Amino acid sequence: TLFGTAFAADVVTIDDFEYADEAAANAAWVAQGTSQPAGLLPHADGKALKMPCPFAEDVERAYYDRAVNLDLLHAGAITFDFYADTDGVAGSCVIYFHSVDGWYRGGFSANKGWNRISLGKGVFGVEDNPAGWDKIDTIRLAIWRGRPENSFCAIDNLQARTEEVAVICGGSGSEARAAQGIAKQLCTFLDRTGLPY
pLDDT of residue 136: 98
Report, as ranges of residue numbers, the positions in the chain whose pLDDT lies below 50.
1-5
Whole-model pTM: value is 0.83
Which residues, in sequence order, are CB contacts of 84 under 8 Å at separation 6+?
A: 90, 110, 111, 112, 113, 115, 151, 153
Could you say which DSSP state residue 194 is in?
T
| pLDDT at residue number 8 | 57
Separation between Cα atoms, residue 98 and residue 175, nearest integer Å: 29
Q: Give the phi and the psi of residue 184 in degrees, each rounded to 5.
A: -65, -40
Q: How many CB atoms lie within 10 A of CB 191?
A: 11
Q: Across the chain, where does the E strand assignment appear? A: 10-15, 30-31, 39-43, 46-54, 61-70, 77-84, 90-108, 113-120, 125-130, 136-145, 150-162
pLDDT for res 137:
98
